[in-house]
Structure 1
Amino acid sequence: MCSAEFSELKGTPYWNARCAQDTVDAVVEHVTHGNSFVTTGHLVGCHRTTVARIVRVAGTHARHLHDLNARDLKVTSIQADERYGFVGRKKEAVWDATVIDPSSKFLIQGEIGERTAALTQSLLMHARARLTDPHGLVLFTDGFLSYQTLFPEVFGRPYRPARQGSRGRFPKTAYRIPRSAAHVRIIKEYSGKRVVNVRTEIAAGTQVRVNEELQRLGYHKPNTSAVERQNATARRMNPHLARKSLAFARLRIHRESLAHLVQGIYNWCRVHRGLRSKLDVPKGRQLFLQRTPAMAIGLTNHVWKVRDWLSQPQGVSCRA
């Protein structure tokens, strides 16, 4: 015998939690339904610092599981957008940038930071690394110029332009947009706080490729409806994003941890009415199969319960 200790909980948020597994599950359920740390502590029967500790550990666990499972994704279009928020005080603005697959509603990548080109680049580069074919998709965004600037660099094919003559510097690396890729900007024009006009602009690619993707998605015209709807869902699930609330994040680590946790629960544990599929043979009164984004994109074949998802050790894949 090696005399080594073994625990099924090691590598999960239950390891050294200093509270029952049911308490950890209840904390995760409450905070991902929009309850603040203080309210969750009252409902579960623990201190708010215990809630914060569980969220930090569970958020790290969710990030590791997402990095392990969200790979080689087969998508033909993505939508990107940012949500405003803050940490500590409203002067310290922190934005949640998101990339979503409009077909399966799967959250491919999320980043948190100031709304700059660096945040956009990190978002698109990490999203690109999770895709099987990053050169064969259509990107739908709003009018934020960083997407237009970075799209050729991230999703284009690099090449070296021919040198003019034999003296001087070599030309900088340029990028070609494949025929299978395109970028569409949906630009809203405002008068005060009211939207007075919405116009679309093909920033890269061809109209033929865009029309092909719109037909596949069932859209009549380009839009960012999937990511905009997810913005509302995120504000409902994440108390740090709720408008006109005292449940904002005091520390950045709590903001980031809860964002990762909400993303994991959304992808693997929450069913979406728009993703349900009709059963070939009804099961009693059940006519539809309820699906999560992870099921719709093909990563799993069942709805994960919170206990099962949190019990998945780091390094062990959830993919079917």
Structure 2
Amino acid sequence: MNCQTCSIECRSFGKHRNGLKRFRCPQCGKTYTEEHERLFGRMTVPEDKALLAIQLLLEGTSIRSTERITGLHRDTIIRLLVVAGERCVKLMDSKMRDLRCQKIQADEIWTFVAKKARHLQPDDPTEFGDAWVFVAIDADTKLIPAFTVGKRDRATTYGFLENLDSCLALEHRFQLTTDGFHFYERGVENVFAGRADFAQLVKIYGDHGQHDAAGRYSPSPMIEAIVKIRDGRPDPRHISTSYVERQNLTMRMAIRRFTRLTNAFSKKLDNLKLACALHFAYYNFCRVHRSLRVTPAMEAGLESRIWTLRELLIGA
């Protein structure tokens, strides 16, 4: 290794605590570290502290709480989220292919970006306001093969279904259950072309005092569930959205941006998408499912062991 200032060969100068060799220029005294691949690219934050920050974000901690715990600046934490999230997007895109999920449940979970819809101004960016995360889960393995973040409209629904279709093996037939959102009916028909035994489960909820301040966030009692067969011959025993609705709770607990009545909501749509990608990749490959006692990726046969967070970011 040559000195970048003097252009003469540096001499060995011990090692860092992590085992990397150090070198020092005999003329100007500058020190250098041997060439190595950094987990977070050009970011110089200590690896153990960076991994702790990401782990905290994955366990429902807000950006500023993570800042207080780790001592890292909030802008640094956001940059770590961006790096990790972008890698997880690529990982999900490469790993979620040729799947043979038999029973898939799909649902949407609501959040918002910057401000709620009722506070929007005419000159606000289009990404502000309501945001919906469309999620698909395999009822058998609990694997989440596909998700899409956007508005609750036709374009996002079709994009989500096309994303799910790209994850499944060609000509693979499966059972699909969704809620009663009307764009699913035509979307499933157009995207899957008869390969899905498709049913919609429409749940009717009663009034439980949601009109007053005390009961606004109280869960409404379900008074009826209506099954609508849309295509094929779905098995009535497996027409359910229970698992994907339970995943909605997992998201609200694990991603601080989804927690209601806080100021930890997303300020940028891109960061919301990356936070979701990080959550789903970690959920699939690193987080042991209590009922399965393995990760969803292991149950689905994609992996043979539990990944660490570091391995997740390296593998991505």
Size of the aligned set, in residue pairs, is 261
Residue 121 of structure 2 corresponds to residue 118 of structure 1: no
Distance 1:99 1:59 in 2: 19
> 2:206 is matched with which residue?
191
| Aligned partners of 2:134 and 2:149 also within 8 Å | yes
Alignment partners' CA distance in 2, 1:152 and 1:221: 20
Identify which of 106, 113, 132 aligns with 2:143. 106
Unaligned runs of 5+ in 1: 157-176, 215-219, 277-290, 315-320
In structure 2, distance between residues paired with 1:71 and 1:235: 27
| Farther off after superposition, 186-195 or 252-261 | 186-195
What's 2:227 paired with? Answer: 200
Write the mapping of 1:1-320 to structure 2, written as runs, cut at 5 A: 7-9=36-38, 12=39, 14-91=40-117, 92-133=129-170, 135-156=172-193, 177=194, 181-192=196-207, 193-206=220-233, 210-211=234-235, 220=237, 222-276=239-293, 291-312=294-315, 314=316
Counterpart AA for 1:205: G
Provide the rounded CA distance (Å) in 1 between the counterparts of 2:96 and 2:43: 27
- RMSD (Å), alpha carbons: 1.7
Q: Secondary structure of the equivalent of 2:160?
A: helix
Name the SS of the counterpart of 2:290 in structure 1: strand
Paired residue secondary structure (1:272): coil
TM-score normalised by L of structure 2: 0.79
**1:148-205 Cα shifts (integer Å, max 9, x gaps):** 111111111xxxxxxxxxxxxxxxxxxxx25xx3101100123334422111111111
For the Cα contact (< 8 Å) 1:240–1:247, is it kept in 2? yes
- Match of 1:85, SS state, is strand
| d(CA) in 2 for partners of 1:302, 1:39 | 31
SS in 2 for 1:274: coil
In structure 2, the residue matched to 1:285 is: none
Identical-pair percentage: 32
With over 3 angstroms needed to count, the CA separation of the structure-2 counterparts of 1:258 and 1:78, relative to structure 1, is same
Distance 1:310 1:31 in 2: 14
Give runs of ≥4 in structure 1 deviating > 4 Å: none
Distance 1:6 1:78 in 2: 46
Scaled by the length of structure 1, the TM-score of the pair is: 0.78
- TM-superposed CA distance for 1:225, in Å, is 1.0
Greater Cα offset, 88-97 or 126-135: 126-135
Q: Name stretches of at least 5 consecutive residues in structure 2 with no aligned partner.
A: 1-33, 118-128, 208-219
Displacement of 1:119 in angstroms is 0.8
Shift of 1:134: 5.0
Give the superposition deviation at 1:7. Answer: 3.3
Say whether the 8 Å CA contact 2:198–2:232 is kept in structure 1: yes
SS in 1 for 2:291: strand
Deviation at 1:111?
0.7
Aligned-partner residue type, residue 256 of structure 1: K
